[in-house]
Chain A
């Protein structure tokens, strides 16, 4: 536990962060380690190119958009607190938390997750996914041999399907209605039935220097609205 505490003391306002994001201190420590590893110049801020240095992001078709989501407009760096706050979107929703209408909606709720995804499409932040925006996303997610015409017709049909008020754009309300509410979503991939749920630090055995992996901090799971 020693190293956890020493790392924790380096992070300002841990309690606040813990309370706000719902990560445990151990999670925060882990994320802090990661943050420092990404922050090659030790400035305490991450720049887009720091994210760009993650090799695997380069093979993610929407990786650049996701990097972009970490930076609020007008900001060119992200500090640790914002970093954690953004990641907190993807914490699994707390099932046990009692519904308390007086509390503000937690950041990892289904709605805010959807909101995050929505913003990836909605690059001009006008609250609507226009046809052009959808086309952009499609262009980056589909293989290159798909022709422009095919793309356009896919986009048109997609908008038709989702568009309830026939304004030729998908609003957030329409967007969130796309998957049938609350159903457990499974995808068939690589021959295996896998839930769209990622355990972030899979198969990571701490036999080495990690006293950090003590009880209670072993989960660092991220989910999306499913």
Chain B
């Protein structure tokens, strides 16, 4: 608490520092405002210029730098406010941050008013719309989880367009009804003006919504619906606002059917046109980032400036600027992320967050400050209360009705609780305020009433609904049963269940093959990648794992091929030691390396991923054995802690999370890569081991000579047809495996000698050095059969078990290849499913 008071005190000091000079400058003009200050002060500066009589050493140049200085100070103050709250987690956990910022805005506004006797600082619509809003919108678009967004695009559009129109219309009509009925009293306001008011206040505000929803963890569909809606309906609101504004200017008498139709047309033109401008700018950005390789330092700057230009251009063409900026961000994110240097991307992301978060903070603080100004307050209890009531009620009605319709079409309907949250999440914010201040006082007699109502609505929704949102979520959604996982068995079992469900979900196709999506993907792959991405980025961008996967397989194959060429896999064997160690401990290095591999090797197919990997692992893991032996003595580690830390998480879908606050350092990614590596290696192994048990030696010797020339082409064609990858793999690994195959009924037993997974073909050991290898294998074999992990061979495998004595195969020449045709019906791959042979010892 002390920290809070200290910081508050500091804030007050800063504030006084700001307001005192403004007091001084108050003499000439009373109603200074931030936007106009600059211009009005120039005259006085010029006037005093000629009065110097001697050379001043230092001068007080306040007037010249006043404007930028105040801006900078205000930004500092707003951010300090945020800092103050973040020192108090207990406070922010109850009241959402946006609410707190508004509160502190009130305090600051109070101080300023007390010092100046007039509200010097206000949130000016111009500043809001041109300097504060664009980066927020751009950031939202850029960090949008695209897949989620577009798979719910229909629903979002329905909510954003129809829902907003519904809210606007019903609020306007209902208020008008109340006016006619005399419930509100004597105010000079007509139906059109009320509709206008309805339209400006209908929009759910992305700034407020994100600020609140970010802290309340809701499921991602709900999140994207509310977020997407709030983003798009800002555009809709502005359009509606302009249309109604024009209607009001025309006057009720001149509005006929033609004008109304024109209004509807202009609505669509403005909205679609704005989106189109955004898409065009996204294309421009993507094209531009194709060739910014040489100026990496300002690379991220292009995105900002072009994003901002998309906003301004749309505004210039009187199209929807918000939609333009949103779509610009949404459309270009994929391509610029692929095109730009990794560092530029992270710079971009961080700077984007800094801007967005910073201006969000400023907006809320100023929303608070603005309120402390008696000149704007016109109190009309009935009007304000009715507005609040109608907003609340009609929002719910709209959401329920639209969801009911949507649920007829959605594969997974929105549940009642989700709908409730959507309705309740209708927070209003600064956009409404910015619009209402834009109104012309001459046309709208009740402008101040509208402003004060809007402010109250904003406060009410942000504060009250924001505060109650979190308890509501916990109360409605899941009872916060504090289930602690007590036993290790439980933890492990739960995590296993997690993984199982994820896998089942993947197998049964989580997102069905959607016709439109397929079409779009084809189009994208065919044309857009070619057009918008640098050739090197093209390979890695979308199916990054896909390609990584292919590369890995290919490398593994070339690895083995290389061994064949050299006549032995001695070099593989050397590295098996590294492999052992690799499993042991140093995966930190391993995973740290992964991004490097991903980034560097996507470009050139010819660098074998695995070679890099193995090399560095090898060099890293020296002397690990000794260390482990020491570790053995100190076994009193906290197993729970360990499990908590190191169990892989189920890959649920919570990674799509937009946050203006945090850029998560994605632990998931490392995990994913680690698991992926292991899976691939264990699969490779099981192909080999499967081969061992099943390949009839006769066939091997039969195809031996014939196939030799075909080998290379075979190997090469592998890459083209992914579905065959495993089969071909077998082909490459098959040779010589039968040497040991006859000794056991298939299974991956020899690998166990090597403690853990690795691209190690033990058969080569046998070949290089037959007798010791046999000795080596046999004890393990014995154990492998005793311990339950031995693979149960398929019936077919048992049928085809080679009956020839083992030494006979070992006499076979080194370069053996099975015919690829065998693979079609060969049971070799049957064992793919076997688990990675773990360290048994």
> What is A's interface to B at a CB cutoff of 8 Å?
30-31, 33-34, 37-38, 40-41, 47-71, 73-76, 87, 90, 116-117, 120-126, 128, 130, 132-133, 135-151, 153-154, 157-158, 161-162, 170, 175, 178-179, 183-187, 189-210, 213, 215, 218-220, 222-226
Q: In the assembly, what is the distance between CA of A65 and CA of B652, in Å?
A: 19
Instruction: Decide yes or no: A154 and B836 within 8 Å by CB, A34-B512, A90-B501, A218-B413 being known contacts.
Output: no
Chain B residue contacts of A30, Cβ below 8 A: 509, 512
Is B647's CB under 8 angstroms from A141's CB?
yes
Closest-by-CB residue of B relative to A75 is: B794
Shortest C-beta distance, B715 to chain A (Å), equals 17
| Partner pick for B505 among A157, A200, A203, CB 8 A cutoff | A200
Is A193's CB under 8 angstroms from B792's CB?
no
Q: In the assembly, what is the distance between CA of A158 and CA of B807, in Å?
A: 43
| Partner pick for B648 among A61, A117, A191, CB 8 A cutoff | A61
Chain A residue contacts of B549, Cβ below 8 A: 55, 58
Digitize B476-500: 1 where CB-to-A-CB distance is under 8 Å, 0 elsewhere. Answer: 0110110100011110111111111
Chain A residue contacts of B293, Cβ below 8 A: none
- Apart from A61-B499, A191-B654, list 18 A-B contacts with CB within 8 A: A34-B508, A48-B829, A49-B832, A61-B679, A70-B833, A76-B830, A117-B493, A139-B838, A140-B835, A143-B674, A145-B586, A148-B755, A192-B219, A200-B510, A204-B151, A206-B411, A207-B516, A209-B515
Chain B residue contacts of A153, Cβ below 8 A: 635, 637, 639
Q: In the assembly, what is the distance between CA of A135 and CA of B655, in Å?
A: 29
Closest-by-CB residue of A relative to B413 is: A218
Q: In the assembly, what is the distance between CA of A225 and CA of B789, in Å?
A: 26
Instruction: Decide yes or no: A178 and B412 within 8 Å by CB, A60-B651, A90-B501 being known contacts.
Output: no
Q: In the assembly, what is the distance between CA of A69 and CA of B833, in Å?
A: 8
Is B834's CB under 8 angstroms from A192's CB?
no
Closest-by-CB residue of A relative to B511 is: A204
Is B492's CB under 8 angstroms from A218's CB?
no
| Partner pick for B632 among A74, A149, A191, A219, CB 8 A cutoff | A149
| Partner pick for B516 among A62, A146, A148, A208, CB 8 A cutoff | A208
Instruction: Decide yes or no: A142 and B646 within 8 Å by CB, A33-B513, A49-B832, A124-B789 being known contacts.
Output: yes
| Partner pick for A59 among B651, B653, B682, CB 8 A cutoff | B651
Is A56's CB under 8 angstroms from B651's CB?
yes
Q: In the assembly, what is the distance between CA of A199 and CA of B790, in Å?
A: 35
A58, A132, A194 — which one has the most chain B CB atoms within 10 A of its CB?
A58
Interface status of B2 (Cβ within 8 A of chain A): no
Chain A residue contacts of B788, Cβ below 8 A: 122-124, 126, 128, 130, 132-133
| Partner pick for A76 among B546, B586, B655, B829, CB 8 A cutoff | B829
> What is B's interface to A at a CB cutoff of 8 Å?
148, 151-155, 217-221, 224, 408-413, 474, 477-478, 480-481, 483, 487-490, 492-516, 543, 545-546, 549, 582-588, 590-591, 628, 631-632, 635, 637, 639, 642-643, 645-655, 657, 671-672, 674-676, 678-680, 682-683, 686, 722-723, 725-727, 755-756, 787-792, 794-796, 827, 829-830, 832-840
Is A144's CB under 8 angstroms from B683's CB?
no
Is B834's CB under 8 angstroms from A64's CB?
yes
Closest-by-CB residue of B relative to A40 is: B723
Closest-by-CB residue of B relative to A131 is: B787
Chain A residue contacts of B153, Cβ below 8 A: 205
Chain B residue contacts of A31, Cβ below 8 A: 508
Shortest C-beta distance, B208 to chain A (Å), equals 21
List 5 A-B residue pairs with CB atoms under 8 Å apart, sorted by A's residue number.
A73-B794, A123-B834, A170-B489, A184-B481, A222-B501
Is A48's CB under 8 angstroms from B481's CB?
no
Chain A residue contacts of B645, Cβ below 8 A: 143
Number of A-B contacts (CB under 8 A): 378
Instruction: Decide yes or no: A146 and B646 within 8 Å by CB, A48-B830, A56-B651, A220-B508 being known contacts.
Output: yes
Instruction: Decide yes or no: A74 and B723 within 8 Å by CB, A157-B488, A202-B653 being known contacts.
Output: no
Chain B residue contacts of A203, Cβ below 8 A: 148, 151-152, 220-221, 224, 412, 511
Instruction: Decide yes or no: A120 and B496 within 8 Å by CB, A73-B794, A148-B584, A183-B483 being known contacts.
Output: yes
Q: In the assembly, what is the distance between CA of A47 and CA of B654, in Å?
A: 31
Instruction: Decide yes or no: A71 and B833 within 8 Å by CB, A120-B500, A139-B839 being known contacts.
Output: yes
Instruction: Decide yes or no: A65 and B833 within 8 Å by CB, A130-B788, A150-B642, A213-B409 being known contacts.
Output: yes
Instruction: Decide yes or no: A61 and B678 within 8 Å by CB, A117-B496, A144-B583, A201-B510 being known contacts.
Output: yes
Q: In the assembly, what is the distance between CA of A128 and CA of B789, in Å?
A: 12
Shortest C-beta distance, A42 to chain B (Å), equals 11
Q: In the assembly, what is the distance between CA of A219 and CA of B508, in Å?
A: 13
Instruction: Decide yes or no: A158 and B488 within 8 Å by CB, A58-B545, A135-B839 being known contacts.
Output: yes
Is B723's CB under 8 angstroms from A178's CB?
no
Instruction: Decide yes or no: A66 and B503 within 8 Å by CB, A153-B639, A186-B478 being known contacts.
Output: yes
A69, A191, A199, A204 — which one has the most chain B CB atoms within 10 A of its CB?
A204
Q: In the assembly, what is the distance between CA of A14 and CA of B795, in Å?
A: 29
Q: In the assembly, what is the distance between CA of A178 and CA of B494, in Å?
A: 10
Closest-by-CB residue of B relative to A64 is: B833
Chain A residue contacts of B409, Cβ below 8 A: 205-207, 213
Shortest C-beta distance, B752 to chain A (Å), equals 10
Closest-by-CB residue of B relative to A202 is: B412
Chain A residue contacts of B657, Cβ below 8 A: 190
Closest-by-CB residue of B relative to A122 is: B788
Is A76's CB under 8 angstroms from B151's CB?
no
Is A140's CB under 8 angstroms from B678's CB?
yes
Q: In the assembly, what is the distance between CA of A87 and CA of B676, in Å?
A: 24
The 7 closest A-B pairs by CB, nearest first: A68-B833, A144-B587, A124-B788, A74-B795, A139-B838, A48-B832, A192-B217
Closest-by-CB residue of B relative to A220 is: B508
Q: In the assembly, what is the distance between CA of A122 and CA of B787, in Å?
A: 12
Shortest C-beta distance, B483 to chain A (Å), equals 5
Is B836's CB under 8 angstroms from A68's CB?
no
Is B588's CB under 8 angstroms from A198's CB?
no
Shortest C-beta distance, A162 to chain B (Å), equals 4
Is B836's CB under 8 angstroms from A145's CB?
no
Is A199's CB under 8 angstroms from B509's CB?
no
Instruction: Decide yes or no: A135 and B515 within 8 Å by CB, A37-B509, A117-B493, A142-B647 being known contacts.
Output: no
Q: In the assembly, what is the distance between CA of A79 and CA of B631, in Å?
A: 49
Is A62's CB under 8 angstroms from B515's CB?
no
